[in-house]
Amino acid sequence: MTVGIATAVWGGIVVLFGSGLLGLVYKGFDRKLAAHMQGRIGPPLRQPFYDVTKLMIKENIVPDHAVTWLFNGMPVVSLAAVATILFYLPLGGFAPLFSGYGDLILVLYLLAVPALAMIIGGFAAGSPYATVGAQREMVMLMSYEFPLAITLVSVAWRLATILPGAHTFSLAVIAAHPLWGMVGPLGVIGLVLLLISLLVVTPAELSKIPFDIPEAETEIAGGLLAEYSGRNLAMFYLADAVKMIVMSALVVALFIPYGIAAPLGLAGALGAFIDALFFLVKIFVVIFFTVIVVRVGFARLKVDQVARLFWLPMTAMALLGMIFLALDRIL
Amino acid sequence: MDSDKINLELGCTTCTTQTTYSVPIGPVHPALKEPIQFTFRLSGERIVGVDIKPGYAHRGIEYMGMKRNLIQVLYLAERICGICSISHPLALTQAVENAAGIEVPPRAQYIRTIIGELERIHSHLLWAGVAAHELGFDTLLHLVWKVREKVMDLLEQLTGNRVDYAIPIYGGVRRDIPDEKAGLAYEALSYYKNLLQDMINAFLHDKSVAMRTSNVGVLTYDDAVALCAVGPTARASGVKKDVRQDMPYLAYADMDIRAITPEDYGKPVVGDVFDNIVVRLLEVDQSIKIIEYCLEHMPGGELTSIPKVAALLAVLKKADGEGIGRHEAPRGEVFHYIRLEAGVEAPVAWKVKAPTYSNLMSWVPKFMGDEIADIPIIAASIDPCMCCLDRATLVDQGGGEAVKLKEELVKLSREKTRRMCG
Amino acid sequence: MIFATLIKQLLHKPATNPFPVKYMPKSVTGLLGKVARGEARINPPVPVPTDLRGKLTYDRDKCIGCQLCIKVCPANVIMFKPDEKKIRIHVARCTFCHQCVDICPTGALGLSNEFLLADTDRFSPNLIVE
C-alpha cells in the first residue's frame, strides 16, 4: 500500500478544496433548513460563501493583550488538523487517500486537535469571555472524548475478533466490512447503543446547540471566538464546516458504509459516481439528524450539565454497547 | 468598554486559597437588550458578587416634559418605553385627571383597559421569546414572536399604530372600538386561547427549558417583600401583589382580579426563573379573560368628557393641584406624579417611577450563587427596561468617584424638589 | 415535544413576508430600476387597516392658519409660513400620533394609510407636505 507522490498531492488538493466547498454547501443547507423549521426564510444557500469571502477581505484584528503568534497560529492548526483527518477517512466509494499510513487512533487524536487549537487560541486572546470559553471547551473535551473513544475502539475490536489478522483499526477495512451483518442479535443491540452515543457526541464535537457552551453567544458573546476576526475567523469557520463533514463521514464509515452501486448492478465510473452521490446523501442525513434538528430543538445546556450527561449516561451507554458486543462474541 | 476592565483581574479577595476574578457584562453585551453595566465577581463559573451600574439610557424625559404643554407630554410619556407604550400614558392620564378633576366616561375606561391588557399579552409574549433566546432556544423565540404578531396586528387595527398607540387622552380615549373591530378582537382572543396550551407545553413541559430555569435565579418570598419587588417578579416569588387587585382603577374594579402566583399552576412557589415563566404565561390567559369581559360588558356613551382638544387645553391650563396615577404595567407597577399650576401650560413637576426601578435590587439575590451561564436568563427574568428605569443622572464636574449613597441621594432629591416647586 | 412543530414548519411556507424581495439584491438601486421598468416585482407588504395612522394629508384650501396643530404637535413637525398663513409638515420627524388631525378645527389635516416613507433625504418631496 504505497501512495504515489503525484496521486497524494492531486488527491489531497481535490479532497481539501472539495471538502471546503462541500462543508460550506452543507452549512448553507444547515442554515436554510434550520430557518425553515423556525418558520423563517433564512439566508440564501450560498450565504456561507459570502461570509467566508467577506471575512477574508476584512481586517484581521489582534487584541493588545493577545499572544500574537499563538493567536494567529491556532486557526491554521485547527483547519490543518481537520483537513488532515479527511485523508484518513473513506469518502464514498474511494479508499482513504493515506490508507495504511494512519488508523482510527490517529483520527481520534486529530479530532481533538481543532478543539485544543481553539482552547489555546482562546487563552491567547486574553479576553475574559475567551478565557471562560476556553475553560468550557476543555471541560467539554474531557467529557465527550471518553464515550467517543469507547465507541471507536469497540467497533474496531469486534471487527478484529471476526477478521483475525486483518488491520481492523484501518478505516478502509472497517468501511469495507460493515459489522451489522456479522454479529448476532446481541451485537446489533450493542452497535445501536454505540451508534446512538456517537450521534450524541457529534453535536458536542462540533460545538452546536445544545452543546455550544464554549461559544454561547448570549452568555459570553462568542466565547472562544470573541476576539477573532477577519482571516482568522474565516479559517475557524471553514474548519467548523469541514469538521461537520469529517464527523458525519466518520459516522458513515463506522456504521453505514453501504453503497448502492453494487446492489443496483452498476460498475465502473458510473458506479463510483452513484456511490459518491449516495455518500453525500448519507452524510447529509447524518448532519440533518445530529446537527440541524438537534440545534433547533433544544435549549443550550450548562457546562456542568453537559459534563454530567457525557460522564454518566453517555459513557454508560457506550460501555453497555461494548459489553453487548463482548457478550455477542462470548455467546 | 475600556481596556483595563477587559483585563482579567486575578487576585486574592478573601486571602484564602480561593481566587476570584471579575467579568464585566455590559454596557453592551448580547445578553442585554439595553445598556446597563454588571461587574460580576466569579469563582470558577460561580457568581460570588455583583455590582450593578445603571444610567446609560437617561434621556431627561421628565425635564423635557416640564417644557411642553400637557398634550405634548402625553406623547413624550408614551415614548418612555416602547413596550409599555400604553402603561406610561395610562398612569399619566390618571395623574392629570386626578390633579385637574376631570371625569372619564365608563366606555373610555373600558377601552383603556382593553388596550392595556392587549399590551400585557404582547409584552409577556415578547418577554417569553427573549427568555427563550437567552437560553439559546431560538426556535421558541421565533415561534412565540410569530404568535405575537397577531396581537400586534390587532393593536394596529384598533388604534392605527403598531406601537405607541396614542389612544388615551386626558378625559377619555381618542378612538372607539366599534362592533366590526370588536369582532377582530374576539377572533384574536380565540386564536390565543387555542394556542395557550401549546405555549405552556413548549415552555413548561420542555426538558431542556426546565433544566436551565428550575432553581435558577431564585428570589425568595422574604427577599421579594424586603426589596419591594413588583409585578410578575414579585408574584413569581409568591407575593400576591397587583395594582389591579389592590387598588382597582379603570374597569378593573368591575372584575374580580386576583394576583397570579405559581400556585395557580398547581406548583409550590420557588421564585426561580421557571416560576417567572409560569406567572407570565398564566397572565396572558388572565388578560384574555379580562379583555373578553370588557368587550362583552362595554358600556355605551361618550368616548371623552371633553371632546374638543382646544377646550381640553384650556381646562388643563386652568387646572391647579397635584395628582398621582398608577397602573399595573406588564412589568409591575408604574407610578406617575404630576403637579399643575393654574396659568402654566407645562406641568411644574413630573415624576415617573417605572417597575424596573423597584425590581432592580432583586437582581442581587437572584444572581448570587448561580453560574455565568445563568446570567442572561436571570438578567432577563425581571424583564428589565433600562430606559424606563433611568430617571436620574449625576453630572460630576469635578471628576472622581461618582457613587452616592442613600442619605445623600435623599438630600439631593429633596433639594431638587424644592427648586422645582419654587 | 417541539419536534412535531419543527417538522410541520419545515414542510410549510415560512411565516416571514418576503417584503420587498426574498433575498438582499446585489444592488438595491438596480432592483428599484428593474421594478420601475417592470422587469422585477416587489412582494406587497402585509395589509394595513384602512384607518392606519400613516402619512398626514393636508388640504391647503381649508387651512385657516390657526396654528393649533403646531401647539399640540409633540415632535415639532409643523412649521408655520407667516406670509401665506399656511403650514409645512416635515413627515420625517412625525411620530404619527395624529393629535393635529384631532385638533384641526376645519378638518384640513387628515390621515392616509401610506406608510412606506423610508428615504435617505429628510427633505425629499415625499417627506414634506404643504
Q: Where are the beta strands (DSSP E) in A182-248?
A: none
Q: How many CB atoms lie within 10 A of CB B35?
A: 16
A313 touching chain B per CB within 8 A = no
pLDDT score for B3: 36
Comparing CA positions, the residue from B389, B402, B407 lying closest to residue B84 is B389
Return the pLDDT at A170.
73
Mean pLDDT of A97-110: 75
Cis omega (within 30 of 0) on the bond before B232?
no
Those residues whose C-beta lies under 8 Å from the C-beta of residue B200, and which sit 6 or more positions away, are B281
C-alpha cell read off for A155: 467497533
Average model confidence (pLDDT) across chain B? 85
Poorest-pLDDT segment among B8-17, B115-124, B236-245, B379-388 = B8-17
Q: Compute φ and ψ for B20, nearest 5 degrees.
A: -120, 160
pLDDT band for position B89 (50/70/90)?
very high
pLDDT at A295 over 80: yes
How far is the alpha carbon of A79 from chain B, nearest alpha carbon, in Å? 27
Evaluate whether the domain defined by B61-356 bears CATH number 1.10.645.10. yes
Choose the closest CB to A41 out of C1, C3, C22: C22
- Burial profile A102-126: b = 16 or more Cβ within 10 angstroms, e = fewer: bbbebbbebbebbbbbbbbbbbbbb
| A194-234 tens-digit pLDDT | 888 888 888 888 888 888 877 777 777 777 888 888 888 89
Give domain limits for chain B.
61-356
Contact criterion met (CB < 8 Å) for B136 and A39: no
Cα separation, C129 vs A262, whole angstroms: 75
CA distance A124 to chain C (A): 37
pLDDT digits (tens, 9 = 90+) for C38-49: 888 888 888 888
Give whole-number Cα distances, B315 to A129, B169, B321, B341, in Å.
58, 13, 13, 12
Q: Would you list which residues of chain B are within 8 Å, Cβ to Cβ, of chain C?
A: 68-69, 71-72, 74-76, 78-79, 139-140, 143, 146, 149, 153, 156-157, 159-161, 164, 166, 174, 202, 206, 309-310, 313
Alpha-carbon distance A221 to nearest alpha carbon in chain B (angstroms): 6
Are the Cβ atoms of C6 and A296 closer than 8 angstroms? yes
Q: Does A45 touch chain C (CB under 8 A)?
A: no
B32 alpha carbon, distance to own chain's centre:
16
Please judge whether B309 and C103 are an interchain contact, meaning their C-beta atoms are less than 8 angstroms apart. Answer: yes
Which residues on chain A are in Cβ contact (under 8 Å) with B140?
A: 299
Instruction: Tell me the per-residue pLDDT of A7-48, one tens digit each, with 9 for 90 and over.
Output: 777 777 777 788 888 889 999 998 998 898 888 888 998 899
What confidence tier does C130 reach under pLDDT thresholds 50, 70, 90? confident
To the nearest whole Å, the CA of A29 is away from the closest chain C CA by 13
pLDDT, greater one: B101 or A90: B101
Distance between CA atoms of C91 and C58, rounded to whole angstroms? 12
Q: Which pTM does this prediction carry?
A: 0.86
Please answer yes or no on whether B211 and A299 come within 8 Å at the CB atom: yes
Judged by a CB distance cut-off of 8 A, whether residue C120 touches chain A is no
Q: Which of C1, C26, C23, C24 is nearest to C14 (CA)?
A: C23
Residues B293, B296, B297, B298, Cα dihedral to 10°: 110
Burial of residue B211, with CB atoms counted within 10 A of its CB: 0-12 exposed, 13-18 middle, 19 or more buried = middle
Greater pLDDT, C123 or A221: C123
**Shortest alpha-carbon distance between residue B324 and chain C (Å):** 22
* Cβ count within 10 A of residue B73: 26
Is A43 near chain C, with CB under 8 Å? yes
**What's the whole-number mean pLDDT along residues B66-93?**
89
Place of cell 418631496: C125
Banded model confidence at residue A98, pLDDT cuts 50, 70, 90:
low
Give the residue from A61, A135, A298, A306 with the most B CB atoms within 10 Å of its CB, the best one to mutate.
Answer: A298
Q: DSSP of A54-74, one letter per residue? A: HHHHS-----TTS-HHHHHHH
**Residue among B3, B8, B21 minimizing CB distance to A64:** B3
Q: Of C127, C51, C70, C69, nearest to C93 (Cα)?
A: C127
Instruction: Tell whether A293 is within 8 A of chain C (Cβ).
Output: yes
Q: Long-range CB contacts (< 8 A, 24+ apart) of A5-14?
A: A8/A97, A8/A98, A11/A97, A12/A87, A12/A97
Domain spans, chain C: 3-37, 56-129
A134-147 pLDDT, tens digit each: 888 888 888 888 88
C-alpha cell at position B282: 398564566
Number of H helices, E strands in chain B: 18, 9
Chain B residues touching residue C52 (CB < 8 angstroms): 156, 160-161
The least confident of A255-259, B162-166, B304-308 is A255-259
**Is the CB of residue C53 less than 8 Å away from at least one CB of chain B?**
yes
Does the pLDDT of residue B203 top 70, yes or no?
yes
The pLDDT, as a whole number, for residue B113 is 92
- What is residue B95's predicted lDDT score, i.e. its pLDDT? 92
Query: Which pLDDT tens digit goes with each residue over C12-44?
Result: 888 888 888 888 888 888 888 888 888 888 888
Q: Which amino acid is at A130?
A: A
Q: Which of A264-273, A306-315, B9-18, B278-287 has the lowest mean pLDDT?
A: B9-18
Taking residues A79-84, report their average pLDDT.
Answer: 85
Task: Name which of A277-281, A312-316, B17-21 the model is least confident about.
Answer: B17-21
Domain C56-129 has CATH 3.30.70.3270: yes
Task: Answer whether residue B102 shows pLDDT above 70.
Answer: yes
Taking an 8 Å cut-off on Cβ atoms, the answer to whether A128 and B23 are in contact is: yes
- Distance CA(A149)–CA(B19), nearest Å, equals 34
Q: How far apart are CA B287 and CA B114, in angstroms?
A: 9
Q: What is the pLDDT of residue B18?
A: 55
The answer to whether A304 faces chain B, any CB pair under 8 Å, is: yes
Beta-sheet pairing, C86-90 with B172-173? unpaired
Task: Choose the closest CB to A128 out of B8, B139, B374.
Answer: B8
pLDDT confidence of residue B8? 39
Of chain A residues 124-183, which have a CB less than 8 A from chain B?
Answer: 126-129, 131-132, 135
Tell me what pLDDT residue B14 has: 40
Measured distance CA(C76)–CA(C93) in Å, rounded: 8
pLDDT of residue B126: 92
Mean of pLDDT values over A89-111: 73
pLDDT > 70 fraction of chain B, expressed in percent and rounded: 94
Q: pLDDT confidence of A93, banded at 50, 70, 90?
A: low
Q: How far apart, in whole angstroms, are the C-alpha atoms of residue B368 and residue B384?
A: 18
What's the number of CA atoms in the CB half-sphere (13 Å) around residue A297? 18
Cα of C39 to nearest chain B Cα, Å? 32
Show which subunits contact C, needing at least 3 CB pairs below 8 angstroms.
A, B
Give the residue-averaged pLDDT of A61-80: 84
The more confident residue out of A133 and B14 is A133
Q: Which of B3, B9, B137, B374 to mutate to test the interface with A (most CBs of A within 10 A)?
A: B137
By three-state DSSP, how is residue A239 classified? helix
C-alpha distance across the termini of chain C, in Å: 58
> Would the CB atoms of A301 and B6 count as touching at under 8 Å?
no
Determine contact, residues A201/A148, Cβ cutoff 8 Å. Answer: yes
